Chain A
């Protein structure tokens, strides 16, 4: 595979960053900018910007405005932006405005979604490192 991106969403299980420490953004935290990690990120505060991670969890008080790129994304809070993830889980308290590009999705009863949830094949997530700026 030529020109393989630096970090793809598809990682073999051995390489998956399971032992990496998780990052927590507390309730009173506000981050404006880009978060980039190979591990997990828990967002209980506000993020205005992009998040690239292996796993992202937006807590029930969390708010993200911007794009999220990850293998697993779980949202219990609010999101205004896009999700690019293999596995997407939306909890009952989720409130989402935007698009959710996914391969597998679980949506709980009560979740609010204002937008589309386009399904994408596995290789779609292998091809980009950063979220594409203009998606259909």
Chain B
């Protein structure tokens, strides 16, 4: 843990020499003036230079991440991890070993992992590794050979009275 150790005693630079008289002379020694002058701190420079670049709107839930709760985005979401809750986005991709326990709403949903809930999307793609337990409400569906579906496929997207994607734009 040597990384976290820090020197508790710092070299004292700003202390005036003891020989200096308490009454300030009109022309002090030049060396004392230079030492007492506050120097600009170099700490701020590395902090600002390392600022992380702002990523685009697309979100990635990596395989090591588990989210318990709702996800909402007005852009794309790629899920490779585990989500317990509802997902709402424009394009939702559920990766190979990903797991979603809850409903998935979107314009387009590509499923290669597991969804335990329902999918409501305009375009639904179930790849060969997809495992779907629940209903699929779609307008346009692609099911590859090997996909597992336990539920109903209803071509009723946008036909129900409620609005499907009330995703608000992030301010």
Interface residues of A (CB under 8 A from B): 10, 17, 20-39, 41-42, 44-46, 49, 57, 59-61, 74, 76, 86-87, 89, 91-92, 103-104, 106, 108-109, 122
Contacts and interface: CB of A to CB of B under 8 A. Distances in A.
Sorting the interface of chain B by its residue count into under 10, 10 to 19, 20 to 34 or 35 or more gives 35 or more
A24 B68 contact: no
Contacts of B4: 86-87, 103-104, 122
B75 interface: yes
A35 B65 contact: yes
Contact of B68 (A22, A34, A76): A34
B54 A35 contact: no
Contacts, number: 131
A26 B75 contact: yes
A26 B52 contact: no
Contact of A36 (B59, B68, B85): B68
Interface stretch (B27-35, B41-49, B108-116): B41-49
Nearest to B61: A23
Given A39-B65, A122-B4, A23 B60 contact: yes
Contact of A34 (B47, B48, B61, B67): B67
A25 B56 CA distance: 9
Contacts of B75: 26-29
A74 B46 CA distance: 13
B48 A91 contact: yes
A52 to B, nearest CB: 9
Nearest to A90: B47
